[in-house]
Amino acid sequence: MADDVVQTVDLAAEYEASGVREVLEELDRELIGLAPVKQRIRETAALLLVDKARRDLGLSIETPTLHMSFTGNPGTGKTTVARMMAGLLHRLGYVRKGHLVSVTRDDLVGQYIGHTAPKTKEVLKRAMGGVLFIDEAYYLYKPDNERDYGQEAIEILLQVMENNRDDLVVIMAGYADRMDKFFSANPGFRSRIAHHIDFPDYSDDELLRISQSMLESQSYVFDPEAEAAMADYIALRRMQPHFANARSIRNALDRARLRQANRLFSEAKGPLDAVALSTITAADLRASRVFQGGLDVDRMREAAE
Amino acid sequence: MRMTQGCFSFLPDLTDEQINKQVEYILGREWAVSLEYTNDPHPRNTYWEMWGHPMFDLLDAKGVMMELDECRKANPDAYIRIQAFDNTRGFETVMMSFIVNRPADEPSFHMTRTDVDGRSQRYSWDARR
């Protein structure tokens, strides 16, 4: 080792200087719940920080494998965390630009022979220096159709994940059980992905807090009865099909705002103040079909069964 | 004969690292990068073959370098240039163009004399190996 190489390393100073603290604090502040995910990310950040220090001391030269898989039900914050992960990796110097390119099967797989490779390469070129986020990655592999072009995209991806580890990080996301099947059918992915992070479902209480922070960001508030109605709504919605955690909540709030606007429009006699314009009442929420047992189509299906 | 045209034409050939830095500069100014190649380096030959589409949405030079590697593999004995296109209204033109690959054995220019109108002569040149 040359004399002018740093001989000691101050991890705390590195931690401060790299700006990792801001990302982790942002993670804590902006994401409600998800304790195991936050824990895993903190561990990953520590590992990467130590690894960076080791590289600075010349103890290791290899870039660690950083490809990840995020598994969890829809609406559990996988894309949001992926975006923060891109920022984290950028601050630690593992990716050069730190942007997130979010794609699904349609962006990678072509429709006819010879269409897939250029399409996949185009996406990979765009993702260079950043993070490639493949949502619902298991759709790439369709075992029932042996002529499916997804296989071609998988082969290109595997090659790039191995050869361009310095240039981009691939994060694959999807439902836990289907991702498991996907990985067992494509062992190449399993061995190239170092970090598997599982996203748990939100509890009712967490979803209520999420709904409040969503409203807050749009300058709306619940009145006390509406808050109770929201809690009931969450408990009921969870029992019904197509429940998508935070995404269901966002959609419910969008519809509640719609009803609130309608209510104000039809009921208001005189001028409205800011409070009236930004309060969601219990009536806005209780009108939801969730309280009548869900969508008609789902009810009919259940009756048929 | 050593062909020179575009930016950096009086410098020695750029190394890949230097090309990478130039591309970073281009992307930093939000210009679109494209690759073109030709076997006819005559200065009047403005339109070279395009290698793929211009790349409008890249953030990192690596994507361009990958294309360049592939273009070199397919056309090792061609001239290849990188062009930077500025699509800002008012410019809408190539802002930068430089050669990134040249054949080991470069063609020379051959002059043709043509007699016209009595004792007048016309001269023209073409690249020949």
Q: Mean pLDDT lowest for which of A30-34, A223-227, B76-80?
A: A30-34
Chain B hits for A126, Cβ within 8 Å: 57-59, 63
Give the DSSP H or E segment for A30.
helix A20-30
Q: Where does a domain end: A155, A172, A199?
A: A199
**Domains of chain B by residue range:** 16-128
- Position A47 scores a pLDDT of 86
Query: Are A183 and A242 contained in the same domain?
Result: no
- The answer to whether position A2 is within a domain reads no
Chain B hits for A156, Cβ within 8 Å: none
Tell me the H-state helices in A129-244. Answer: 150-163, 176-185, 187-192, 204-217, 224-239
Tell me the H-state helices in B29-99. Answer: 62-74
* Closest listed residue to residue A173, CA positions, set A197, A131, A137, A200: A137
Q: Where does a domain end: A199, A218, A233?
A: A199
- Position A41 scores a pLDDT of 87
Query: Are A212 and A184 contained in the same domain?
Result: no
For chain A, say whether B57 makes contact (Cβ under 8 Å): yes
- Position A170 scores a pLDDT of 94
pLDDT in tens, A231-271: 999 988 888 888 888 889 999 999 999 999 999 888 877 88
- The answer to whether position A5 is within a domain reads no
Mean pLDDT of A68-93: 89
Query: Are A91 and A169 contained in the same domain?
Result: yes
Residues B62 and B2 sit within 8 Å (Cβ to Cβ): no
Mean pLDDT of B82-98: 94
Chain B hits for A167, Cβ within 8 Å: 60, 62
For chain A, the helix, strand and coil percentages under 3-state DSSP, each to the nearest 5: 60, 10, 30
Give the DSSP H or E segment for B19.
helix B16-28
Residues A186 and B81 sit within 8 Å (Cβ to Cβ): no
Question: Domain of A32?
Answer: 11-199
Q: Phi, psi at residue A174, to the nearest 5°?
A: 170, 180
How many Cα atoms occupy the beta-carbon half-sphere of A267 within 13 Å?
Answer: 11
- The answer to whether position A187 is within a domain reads yes
Q: Which residue of A has its CA nearest to B58?
A: A126
- Position A304 scores a pLDDT of 65
For chain A, say whether B73 makes contact (Cβ under 8 Å): no
Q: What is the mean pLDDT of chain A?
A: 86
Lookup: tokens for A239: 């029992």
- Position A1 scores a pLDDT of 45
Query: Are A292 and A231 contained in the same domain?
Result: yes
Which fold would CATH assign to domain B16-128? Ribulose 1,5 Bisphosphate Carboxylase/Oxygenase (3.30.190)
Query: Are A108 and A174 contained in the same domain?
Result: yes
Q: Mean pLDDT lowest for which of A48-57, A103-112, A132-141?
A: A48-57
Task: Say which amino acid occupies B4.
Answer: T
In percent, how much of chain A has pLDDT > 70?
A: 94
Number of compact structural domains in chain A = 2
Mean pLDDT of B83-110: 93
Integer angstrom CA distances of residue A253 from A79, A231, A240, A296, B5? 20, 13, 17, 20, 61
CATH of the domain at A214: 1.10.8.60
- The answer to whether position A1 is within a domain reads no
Contacts of A147 (CB under 8 A, 6+ apart): none
Q: Mean pLDDT lowest for which of A12-21, A152-161, A277-286, B70-79?
A: A12-21
For chain A, say whether B3 makes contact (Cβ under 8 Å): no
Per-residue pLDDT at A190 exceeds 60: yes
Query: Are A28 and A174 contained in the same domain?
Result: yes
- The answer to whether position A16 is within a domain reads yes
Query: Are A251 and A147 contained in the same domain?
Result: no
Q: Which residue of B has its CA nearest to A95?
A: B60
For chain B, say whether A124 makes contact (Cβ under 8 Å): yes
Residues A89 and A52 sit within 8 Å (Cβ to Cβ): no
Q: Phi, psi at residue A275, to the nearest 5°?
A: -65, -45
Q: Mean pLDDT lowest for which of A39-43, A297-301, B8-12?
A: A297-301
Query: Cβ contact (<8 Å) for A128 and B55?
Result: no
Chain A hits for B27, Cβ within 8 Å: none
Higher pLDDT, residue A300 or A213: A213
Q: Where does a domain end: A175, A199, A223?
A: A199
Per-residue pLDDT at A192 exceeds 80: yes
Q: Report how far residue A300's alpha carbon sits from residue B45's, in angstroms, rounded to the nearest whole number.
A: 71
pLDDT in tens, A99-123: 999 999 999 998 888 899 999 999 9
Give the DSSP H or E segment for B79.
strand B79-86
Q: Rounded to 10 degrees, what is the CA torsion of A159, A161, A162, A164?
A: 100
- Position B33 scores a pLDDT of 95
Strand, coil or helix: A131: strand
Lookup: tokens for A287: 């009108």
